[in-house]
Chains A and B, each alone.
Chain A
Amino acid sequence: MSDAPVFELRLYVAGQTAKSRAACANLKRICETHLAGQYRLELIDLSKNPKLAAGDQILALPTLVRRLPKPVKKIIGDLSNEERVLVGLDVRPV
């Protein structure tokens, strides 16, 4: 395992809604648990930067985009189901 973060993640949210907060918290927990040190997370608030929505073809919010490793994967929802998030990110629970 290299030093460089393997997972490049972006979480798109819009404002501070209950769902975005939940998603944020869920994601952080999952990452810390399973991907400690191997990831880089960007949090993008579309209500502040609406232009960015087009780039990753964001429709639903919140959306987690796994930009690296390829292929790009998207997980929509508040990320409450940990197992599905891990499956979506292709991370096996250790």
Chain B
Amino acid sequence: MLAMEFLVRGATQFGEPGVFMMFEENPAELTANVRSLGFDLKRLAAQKKLVLDHVHIERSEIEETGEYDLEGLFIRLGHAVKSIGAKRVVLDTVEALFSGLPNHAILRAELRRLFRWLKDHGLTAVITGERGERSLTRYGLEEYVADCVIVLDQRIHEQISTRRLRVLKYRGSAHGTNEYPFLIGERGLSVLPITSLRLDHQVSAKRIPTGIARLDEMLGGKGVFRGSSVLVSGSPGTGKTSVGAKFIDAACRRGERVLLFAYEESSAQIVRNMRSVGIDLEPWVERGLLQIHSSRPTLHGLEQHLVMMHDAVSGFRPSVVVVDPISNLSLDRNASEVKPTLMRLIDFLKQQQITTVFTSLTAGGGETPEDSQLGVSSLMDTWLLLRNVEFNGERNRTIYVLKSRGMAHSNQVREFVLSDKGVKLVDVYLGADRVLTGTARVAQEEQERAAAALREKDHQRRLGQLANKQKAIDAQIAALRAEAEAEAAEVAFAIARQTLQESTTQQNIDVMAQLRGGVKTGSSQKKGKQ
């Protein structure tokens, strides 16, 4: 398969025609087999870019007598090469020669000559061989003769098989010695390098909003850096997907392309569910801005998922990638495998300057929230933690920014409200000794309002009382004054009366004195002595 791709790519993309010499399949079978990969061998053959030559060896027909060589093969190959000016040759598989021809000594010598011959003719050859029991090839010859040996292998781990490729030797070049998983996909074979060797990706100082205004505020007011990776972790039902969807929505609004890998819900389900929180993704899908890849994580091995993502990203060239959730990728796999794999993905995406949002499920309850399940948090630039706070008979969502590299970010917890109008962040009630959310917050706020109203009323009442008292006092003062006036009047009256009496008495005395003919003054004294 690798060989075929080598030939076809050579023929179609590099203008190097090739010869495919097969010893096992016949041309019709091969054509049918590779059609599933999108290679049209017939057309290529018609365009003289490819020659398919089937070499059939039937052991039963062959008798050996004496000396011989494989000149016939050389001639055929030479003829085929000459007929289209081929630069590339594939021999698939040379083992068939060994099974067909009994004299291995000759074969070995001849194969060596064949390699030599290919080199002399400036042909690049891919020779496939079966892997032997202990050695790399069944007859232990080819790997010594060849310049480059690539080992393909298929391994099954936890019921999931992964194809791997390893460059065993490559003369005259520094090659990666690691094993690389590869995938045979719709567009042929793709390999994903294990990790980028150095951390040297370009960084952007541009910030992009997350789609949640208050969240942007929390992240220094401008959102996350372009090309950074964001981890949204939380226990079940904390709204991870919604945060992701909001991010998608925001990116699509800016006219950017978004790729969503969903490992939990189908694309239709996501669109429907997100509509319930006021995020409509459908127009973006229709306009081709959003591509949703939904699959079960168990579909392939982890590496194959990555290769697939790699393919999808290379094909679609998005500026934002959302993976929901990465924790599902780790299903049944050990963490030591998951972390490097994700590292590769992140590295790859960073190199492409793609902003990524990963959601990650943390097991609900119990453990510390700071424990991201996969140990990937160190790879992330921004980490948003969603938490359910259970209090007062209800669960409420809270969000906080656990870390965000390269920006001042809020240390505050915000309540995270999902409604049909979208995602909103609300300030939590920060009371004297506790943080309240949800109805408790609402109740608390209500209580405060009521208390304030009550106080207000109280004040008014007091003021009223004071006024009344004042009035009462005033009234009292008036009454007293009236009393005083009345008293004064009485006093005056009494005085007047007495004066009047006195004068009247005096007059009487005087009158009496006149009558008696006494002295005019001091009559009373005289009268007293008398």
Give CA–CA (A72, B78) in the complex, Å: 25
Convert A1-39 into 0s and 1s, putting 1 for each residue whose CB lies closer than 8 angstroms to a CB of B: 000000000001010010100100000000000000000
A residues 41-57 in Cβ contact with B at 8 Å? 46-47, 50-51, 53-54, 57
Known contacts A46-B75, A50-B76, A57-B55: does B69 contact A73 (CB below 8 Å)?
no
Residues of A within 8 Å of B156, CB to CB, are none
Known contacts A59-B55, A61-B70, A63-B72: does B65 contact A85 (CB below 8 Å)?
yes
Stretch touching chain A among B56-64, B222-230, B501-509: B56-64
Consensus secondary structure, chain B interface = mixed
Residues of A within 8 Å of B72, CB to CB, are 12, 14, 46, 53, 58-61, 63
B residues 33-92 in Cβ contact with A at 8 Å? 53, 55-58, 61-73, 75-76, 78-79, 82
| Min distance, Cβ B57 to any Cβ of chain A, angstroms | 7
Give CA–CA (A60, B56) in the complex, Å: 12
| Min distance, Cβ A30 to any Cβ of chain B, angstroms | 10
Are A61 and B76 touching (Cβ within 8 A)? no
User: Nearest B residue to A62 by beta-carbon distance?
Assistant: B68
| Min distance, Cβ A29 to any Cβ of chain B, angstroms | 13
B97 on the interface (CB 8 Å rule)?
yes
Interface residue tally for chain B (C-beta within 8 Å) = 26
Are B65 and A71 touching (Cβ within 8 A)? no
Residues of B within 8 Å of A50, CB to CB, are 75-76, 78-79, 82
Residues of B within 8 Å of A19, CB to CB, are 67-69
Give CA–CA (A54, B66) in the complex, Å: 23
Are B63 and A60 touching (Cβ within 8 A)? no
Are B68 and A60 touching (Cβ within 8 A)? yes
B101 on the interface (CB 8 Å rule)?
yes
Which among A54, A75, A76 has the greatest number of chain B C-beta atoms within 10 A?
A76
Are A59 and B79 touching (Cβ within 8 A)? no
Contact of B76 among A58, A63, A78 (CB under 8 A): A58
B residues 486-513 in Cβ contact with A at 8 Å? none
Are B65 and A60 touching (Cβ within 8 A)? no
Contact of B71 among A14, A51, A71, A88 (CB under 8 A): A14
Residues of A within 8 Å of B63, CB to CB, are 73-76, 84-85, 87-88
User: Nearest A residue to B79 by beta-carbon distance?
Assistant: A50
| Min distance, Cβ B472 to any Cβ of chain A, angstroms | 130
Which among B58, B64, B68, B97 has the greatest number of chain A C-beta atoms within 10 A?
B68
User: Nearest B residue to A66 by beta-carbon distance?
Assistant: B61
Contact of B67 among A53, A72, A77 (CB under 8 A): A77
User: Nearest B residue to A87 by beta-carbon distance?
Assistant: B63
User: Nearest A residue to B97 by beta-carbon distance?
Assistant: A59
Contact of B68 among A54, A78, A88 (CB under 8 A): A78
Give CA–CA (A93, B75) in the complex, Å: 34
User: Nearest B residue to A89 by beta-carbon distance?
Assistant: B63
Known contacts A84-B63, A87-B63: does B68 contact A57 (CB below 8 Å)?
no
Are A78 and B67 touching (Cβ within 8 A)? yes
The contact sample of 17 A-B pairs, CB cut-off 8 A, is A19-B67, A22-B66, A50-B82, A53-B72, A53-B75, A57-B55, A58-B72, A59-B73, A59-B97, A61-B70, A61-B75, A72-B61, A73-B62, A74-B61, A74-B63, A78-B67, A78-B68
- Point out residues on A near B: beta carbons under 8 Å: 12, 14, 17, 19, 22, 46-47, 50-51, 53-54, 57-63, 71-81, 84-85, 87-88
Closest 7 CB pairs of A and B: A88-B63, A50-B79, A80-B66, A58-B72, A77-B66, A61-B71, A78-B66
